[in-house]
Amino acid sequence: MTPPLDISRRQFLTASAVTAGAALLAGCSPAATASGTQTLQFWHLLSGGDGVIMSSLLDGVNKAQDAYRIRPTVLAWGTPYYTKLAMAAAGGRAPDVAVMHATRVLGWAPGGLLDAWDLDRLAELGVDERTFPKPIWQKGEVDGEHLSIALDAHPFVLMYNTDICEKAGVLDSDGQLMRASTPEEFLDLVTAVAEASEGHGLSYGYLGDGAQMWRLFYTLYAQHGTEMKLPEGGEAEIDTDVAVESLTYMQTLLDGKLAAKQSDYGTAVAEFSTGKSGLFLTGVWELRTMQDAGIPFDVAPIPPIFGTPAAYADSHSFVLPHQTRPNEQRRDLTYQFVADMLKGSFDWATAGHIPAYLPVTESPEYQDLLPQAHYAEAATYVVYDPPAWFTGSGSNFQSEFGAAAQPALLSGSDPAAAIERFTSRVNRFLSQPNPADPEGSRS
């Protein structure tokens, strides 16, 4: 079985050795302008609408001061990005700062591919645990060190067409979606919306998309007040009863009337964006899509139908790729850059993401930003992938969940068998060493 990482251990070690020399040469290039302004190298993986807004934010911080200038490098999302960043970090002369998904950080920690953030240094700039929602701040800590600082949270949410939902009688006196508090109440709500819609009550695309299946499944799983634990070298600790109940509920929604039994992500986007369905389970990243579509819609957190508020999410986070001999002046300016980005992240919310910096989301201006303010509470109860070196956005872990779960969602076959298949695959992952861990590479 192929190790569930972007590259194999042998490929990683070989490529790292080759890249180290190139990285050292790259680090010798001038890093300051004639005026004394330091140039900071910043790698990220944001493209499309996110990329446009990120460029605008970078232009803003560049123009606001003369101490540093950001030189961004944009690489393809997923495997290409993480592979190149890992190899640059292994060479010891990586960019000054980079963006990673918070869920991918743990896999890098054992190999020393990331430098820890100095929390005292950040606190002097107005960035500390008091300025972040608790789960988002805590996600940045690995083995007692803070390895990432979140720019945002981008949770799974429930979008709804306000015209259709008004027709269905499921809006409250404020014109917002009634919040179901039990599985039965949510089914009743979706049923009412289905009767008022041209197509389905709920759009949810999942075919061939393990990440989509996982996002909804783990939201429902976490709403039971439990979490998965994946101890290194051990066996997965998964509450089978909760997992089966969560997957069974997904089957119930995909009955062909409430939601299409067979729908890929693009089809679900098209159905909701053209006004043919009243509800849409998706990520906040589709906010701009629906605004551009011109439909009347709002956004709500996924209701806590199993008792505990929870929403699957990830975070775009700032990391310090390892540098063998960091330039302390540029390192100081890197801290300043991150603080500037956090404090100026209001416009990042226009992409749909929830800014992680509380002074932004608690500001009067943000409360007037709609529909973003209607789902901002989700940042206080986001849940991330269970920590393990092989989990996270774009990982094979999520793909393997999809491979196990999709047959059950398509055919209505035994969800318990699907969970058993998934657990078996996770246990195989756990039996393999982290390719980025020097100790594991010798085993």
Return contacts of 49-53, CB within 8 angstroms, 24+ apart: 49/288, 49/351, 50/285, 50/351, 53/347, 53/348, 53/350, 53/351
- State pLDDT tens for residues 214-223: 999 999 999 9
Helix axis angle for 79-90 and 9-26, nearest 10°, is 60
Instruction: Quote the pTM value.
Output: 0.90
Tracing tokens 């979706």 back to the chain, one arrives at 190
For residue 371, say if its preceding peptide bond is cis, omega within 30 degrees of 0: yes
The tokens describing 399, both together, are 């793909």
Tell me the three-class secondary structure of 105-163, residue by residue.
CHHHHHHCCEECCCHHHHHCCCCCHHHCCHHHHHHCEECCEECCEECEEEEEEEEEEHH
The three-class DSSP label of residue 196 is helix
Pairing mode of beta strands 202-203, 114-115: unpaired
Is 325 strand, coil or helix?
coil
- What domains, with CATH codes, occur in the chain? 9-154+314-383 (3.40.190.10), 156-312+387-430 (3.40.190.10)
Q: What is the pLDDT along the chain (443 residues), one digit of tens a residue?
A: 333 334 444 344 434 433 433 343 334 344 555 458 999 999 999 988 899 999 999 999 999 999 999 999 999 887 788 889 888 888 777 999 999 999 999 988 887 899 999 999 999 999 999 999 999 999 999 999 999 999 999 999 999 999 999 999 999 999 999 999 999 999 999 999 999 999 999 999 999 999 999 999 999 999 999 999 999 899 999 999 999 999 999 999 999 999 999 999 999 999 999 999 999 999 999 999 999 999 999 999 999 999 999 999 999 999 999 988 889 999 999 999 999 999 999 999 999 999 999 999 999 999 999 999 999 999 999 999 999 999 999 889 999 999 999 999 999 999 999 999 999 999 999 999 888 776 654 33
DSSP 197: S
In whole angstroms, what is the distance from residue 359 CA to residue 380 CA?
Answer: 14
Task: Give the sign of the dihedral formed by CA 56, CA 59, CA 65, CA 71.
Answer: positive
